[in-house]
Amino acid sequence: MVKSFVLRSALPVFFAVGLAVNTGANADTISKLQRYQIDPGKVFVAGISSGGFAAVQMHVAHSSTFKGAAVYAGGVYWCAGAGGAATALANCGGQTLPTNQASYNSTLAASKAYLDAQSSLGTIDPATNLSGQPVYLWSGTQDTVVNPHEMADLNAEYLRYGARVVFDNGYPAAHGWESPNGELACGTLGSPFMVNCSVNGAAYDSVKTWLTMFLGKLNPRNNGKLSGMLAKFDQTEFGASPNVSMSSAGSVFVPKACAQGKACGLVLALHGCKQEESRIGNRWVTEAGINEWADTNQLVVVYPDTIASSAPGPTNPNACFDWWGYSNQYDPNYAVKSGLQMGVLYAMVQRVTGRP
């Protein structure tokens, strides 16, 4: 008997120059992404759902650059293997069963074997870099899109390579990114997949948890008007195009101190499926709760953006980041440095950091 599946959220929803600080800037103006004075010890990646899977792949492939990762409802490094979208759906997430659980089959062993092989081949940075790095993992107990077992596998994978992991998996959260700015109640599933949870009646702040892991004691969050600037930047100069399902513009938040030349950190923040700007506006960028901490703790935040696409281009109707190889129909190198979308994202990091 063939089981029927309910597709609720197909594939996881999931020295400064030139950029003046001006919170009143025209939001439609697209600027060139600039270089800043970035401390190489403070370069991090974060992501939710498809962006969570992609964040793991960016972190592992470029572990010499990224010094930590925050992953919400993602999964193991090579979860989809070489099987494409069908394998990704069946094993990793995006597909809700009649039992109201996310479809899941462990690919942990295959992922670790692939990671080890690529590390030995030099197609990714040495896996030994992961040892001692801080990693934050979030998995809601009510997530019906990415099975909590998948995040448990990711926890095991990171621990296997010696990362220092904090695994937040006790909140009754539905699939989404958790932040005090999130517009949905903790257990609510739906667009824009931005949830807020509480502890003893007080708002929880998962971003504070992982930034404290990464940076140590933080300056207080700015809950008022931000002094930095949120601006649009041109993604096409880095190779963004419909062929890799990426839009022409992304967003970047630059604290005033960073624009003035102070040494700062960097967070590359990747949204999930169905969270692209053309679908939900700027709610991912403004509700993630990263900018409020970045403003007072000197962190540039880069928010790449995707687009939905279909044949004859990549089949990606929900504007997911490419963690299973959809680019140019199928990119077998999607999880290593030579991956098509991986290269676009890393080129942005290179620009901001000045790193080769």
With vertex at residue 235, the alpha carbon angle to CA 86 and CA 230, rounded to the nearest 5 degrees, is: 110
How do strand 299-303 and strand 249-254 relate by DSSP bridges? antiparallel
Q: Per residue, what are the HEC states of the chain?
A: CCCCCECCCCCCCCCCCCCCCCCCCCCCCEECCCCCCEEEEEEEEEEECHHHHHHHHHHHHCCCCCCCEEEECCCCCCCCCCCHHHHHHHHCCCCECCCCCECCCCCHHHHHHHHHHHHHHCCCCCHHHHCCCEEEEECCCCCCCCCHHHHHHHHHHHHHCCCEEEEECCCCCCCCEECCCCCEECCCCCCCCEEECEECCEECCHHHHHHHHHHCCCCCCCCCCCCCEEEEEECHHHCCCHHHCECCEEEEEECHHHHCCCCEEEEEEECCCCCCHHHHCCHHHHHCCCHHHHHHHCEEEEECCECCECCCCCCECCCCCCCCCCCCCCCCCCCCCCCHHHHHHHHHHHHHHCCC
CB neighbour class for 167 (10 Å; exposed up to 12, middle 13-18, buried from 19): middle
Active site residue 175: yes
- Give the torsion sign (CA, 336, 340, 344, 347): positive
The type of residue at 140 is G
Provide the token pair at 65.
Answer: 């650059």
Catalytic residue (choose from 59, 62, 125, 143): 143
From 106, 119, 125, 175, the catalytic residue: 175
| Cβ pair 335, 254 in contact under 8 A | no
Active site residue 271: no
Residue 28 appears among annotated catalytic residues:
no
Among the listed residues 49, 179, 247, 327, the single catalytic one is: 49
* Tokens linked to 133: 């790095």
Residues carrying an active site annotation:
49, 143, 175
